Amino acid sequence: GAVVSQHPSRVICKSGTSVKIECRSLDFQATTMFWYRQFPKQSLMLMATSNEGSKATYEQGVEKDKFLINHASLTLSTLTVTSAHPEDSSFYICSYRDGAREKNTEAFFGQGTRLTVV
Amino acid sequence: AQSVAQPEDQVNVAEGNPLTVKCTYSVSGNPYLFWYVQYPNRGLQFLLKYITGDNLVKGSYGFEAEFNKSQTSFHLKKPSALVSDSALYFCAVRGLNTGFQKLVFGTGTRLLVSP
């Protein structure tokens, strides 16, 4: 399957600072990208969807100014949590779909980032 | 709107016994169905998918799933469980009508295989 590299795997930051999470597709072109947030013992909550070169589309209730998504190339996407607060502590996961393949293909996920805001 | 239900928070099974993790779905039109596994502090790994064709789908690590259209179910199965199968399992559905081809996940089922 396709390889998606996400880092950092863990980050601890002080309240009020910003944190950038990177997600790279290593062996395919990622035209569509999804960012998820996962709370403990809960399912994945889709935060936003973006296409390369376009603005992200955010799900209802997700603050676009707080969670900045940049999908500048077919191999790199970033999520920046701005002015982080303890309630932003969570597990963030990126996901790509291979744009060159059929629509019914599975998505590929990064390893996830555990963010802890203190 | 599409949705997925995983009715069991946790499934316990002894090593060597068969296991089943349940999933039912709701979607307009024909569904694309997926199973993913998640190990602690890791992303999701793809196990198998149903798009069309045979109702019994075989996937990674000896897992299989049976698509049942009349019951709108897609239960995950394995004939003989291993301790290493202990993880969190997610069922997901993608409907043909969703603009972004979004995956909708169930709440997850924790599988615990005892030695």
3-state secondary structure chain A: CCCEEEECCEEEECCCCCEEEEEEECCCCEEEEEEEEECCCCCEEEEEEEECCCCCEECCCCCCCCEEEECCCCCEEEEEECCCCHHHCEEEEEEEEECCCCCCCCCEECCCEEEEEC
- A104/B105 Cα distance (integer angstroms): 16
- B29/B27 Cα distance (integer angstroms): 6
| pLDDT tens per residue across all 115 residues of chain B | 788 999 999 999 999 999 999 999 998 888 889 999 998 878 889 999 998 889 999 999 999 999 999 999 999 999 999 999 999 999 999 865 555 567 889 999 999 999 9
Flag whether residue A14 sits within 8 Å of chain B, measured between CB atoms. Answer: no
> Mind listing the pLDDT tens digit for each residue in A21-64?
999 988 777 778 899 999 877 788 899 988 777 888 899 999 99
For residue B109, the cross-strand partners are B89
Q: Work out the number of other CB atoms within 10 angstroms of the CB of residue B47.
A: 21
User: Chains A and B: how many Cβ contacts under 8 Å?
Assistant: 53
Would the CB atoms of A9 and B34 count as touching at under 8 Å? no
Flag whether residue A46 sits within 8 Å of chain B, measured between CB atoms. Answer: yes
Would the CB atoms of B42 and A6 count as touching at under 8 Å? no
Would the CB atoms of B46 and A1 count as touching at under 8 Å? yes
The predicted pLDDT at position B103 comes to 82
Which chain B residues have a beta carbon less than 8 Å from that of A41? 108
For residue A34, the cross-strand partners are A49, A95
Question: Quick one: tokens of B16?
Answer: 């060597």
Which chain A residues have a beta carbon less than 8 Å from that of B43? 4, 6, 93, 109-112
> Mind listing the pLDDT tens digit for each residue in A68-102?
998 878 888 999 999 999 999 999 999 987 655 55
Flag whether residue A6 sits within 8 Å of chain B, measured between CB atoms. Answer: yes
User: How far is C-alpha B78 from the chain's CA centre?
Assistant: 11
Question: B29, exposed or middle or buried, with CB in 10 Å at 0-12, 13-18, 19+?
Answer: exposed
Would the CB atoms of B46 and A93 count as touching at under 8 Å? no
- A57/B98 Cα distance (integer angstroms): 14
The predicted pLDDT at position B101 comes to 63
Nearest CA of chain B to the CA of A83: how many Å?
A: 24
Which chain B residues have a beta carbon less than 8 Å from that of A46? 102-103
Would the CB atoms of A112 and B43 count as touching at under 8 Å? yes
